[in-house]
Structure 1
């Protein structure tokens, strides 16, 4: 239904008819216990629509008989469910902007109470998995950037396995029988690193474009030497690849179909622009090769710069219309976003928020000085929190931009944030 309210229906695999018993007002997040009879799901608050309750359902019974397992009272937290790679635990995730907590249910004894892995602590995030009798935990409890830790059981101390490093943010990991795969961001770009449990030998997935986005895909089966990952760039439609971690042979499994698109017609680049305080800001850009003329093209600069959310340089079919009419399209990876890790976010947050605005203006001027656009034909675009960015830059540098696209702009921030009813 609307407002992302999902119903959960049941059908036996060997039958064709759906059963009458339906679970309503759920977030759509469901996990089976290992008895194939017990289902856990998440309820949404009817007023705020926040996912806030974990409920246990016994197959064949009515929803009115379901048991409340956990309820989150703090409406700044969201509740979610997942299953560990080992299939031994159901993970209740309780997460907010910069704090997380996990409670674990034994998937083999689903009637037992959930146990807290580590009580929440403001500013500390951690994200666990379980495999081969150990917990693997990605956390920032020792460093603003994330490291990977191992614990022998719920109450055991966390031992550092991949120590946090300045400039390298560990964004995710996947566990296999023979491999550990980690997704790391360095200098604003993602690397996918494969580490052999047996030999400790490492390989990195190679990428062709100067600026791109990549991510570990869905790998539900740990007993394999094959890794699935996603890839996209400003000249490459969204793709799913498979790589043999023993031989490093790649296979393209699926790619978004874009009618009449020829990758060879377009060029993507990544440049660094020096901001007014000396910090170097990365900018990703794309244009059509045969229409590019140094210092003569119309230029559209896009930015967001908020919430620690990185704007990765992915493909857009709707953008092709602009490129085919001679536009240069640029993404300014300004401070306030997470493009260069947690510190990049902090440098554009609260008292440092002005860096977000000045970075965008400096990036625009840098692009012009490098010949990627023509003065008088420069445009800016941002939406939501990026609309706040647009409101600032159009007032700070009105002569720089010929036009501004400010989509659903979040420009009345103080009034909004002080309204407790929302």
Structure 2
């Protein structure tokens, strides 16, 4: 069974290094470039991130000795390795303080946002499952998935839960658009029996099991970080404010400094808030929305310091959905359509009206829908448009079999339409590469 494991869609702020003033641990000088291409912060054995021979830590953690710690909340290594807070103090955003910052809750000496913290979701010690996210203080499945037992899966593609939980496909069959079939629908690729659109899947971008970095999306078979960010150490980060990647990947600020406009400085500029060692705009920052440490989850964006669903969407069970088309929340949160029905304009309907066609559980217009142009799952790619059932590809994309693809990265059309790379090969620069 292919399970959809939630990779955090969010990437978090990290503290700025490990060190103190007593010479116990060395830290880089302000703006000093760290050794290694994978953003190692070498604190003399007391503060490594992803390297240095220590434990393998996430982008949000520091390696302090043999342990990975979050210096934003760890009272034993608050802001730096072995920088312990005094009795009665808490670790709030990497600083020892008497109380937590506004919007945060004290859990075991660290200040967390119980609305979004997967280890303390809704209350201290309430941990979400491995495939769940914490949104609105509740453990929920990521958008586009649902709970089947104790895991979150996509019933549109999971061969063990095809169309519904526990509805397993037979041996040799694949799960395509929520139905078991002999082969995947046009435009989809079988990844262990799951039919995936590798032009847009962040977990199978361009090829099966080719996962994008945390926070990245997959467009035209290519992983892309959001505008204003770049990939550093496996996560999309804002080098304008990230204290471990200030101005460029691997450039760390010294302890006590902040990253302001891509430069390590003593304090933040006008209009920016100091959140740990990062200078951010709390009016728009999804990780610090309205206040430091308050993160927007479930696909929400931050506008005027408030977390909101984009495009008029509604937050249902911790995820932003379109109640005009979502069969689980048709017309309102929790208003689910019956099996076989589609949600059209917020109403459950057995058959698609007018000239609309059914694709899985949605009614779409093949004439104008860029994700189902001329047929189900025929994608016009990122930036492409659908006119009269035919794709007009965006610049840099090529039309192959009715879909817009990037022949520089698409393993089914590598270098030219119809040139398919062998299993486990990748398409790089229009050439199939890797062992066969």
Which is helix-richer, 1 or 2?
1
Q: Scaled by the length of structure 1, what TM-score is found?
A: 0.29
Query: TM-score with structure 2 length normalisation?
Result: 0.28
Greater relative CO, 1 or 2 (CA 8 Å, sep 6+): 2
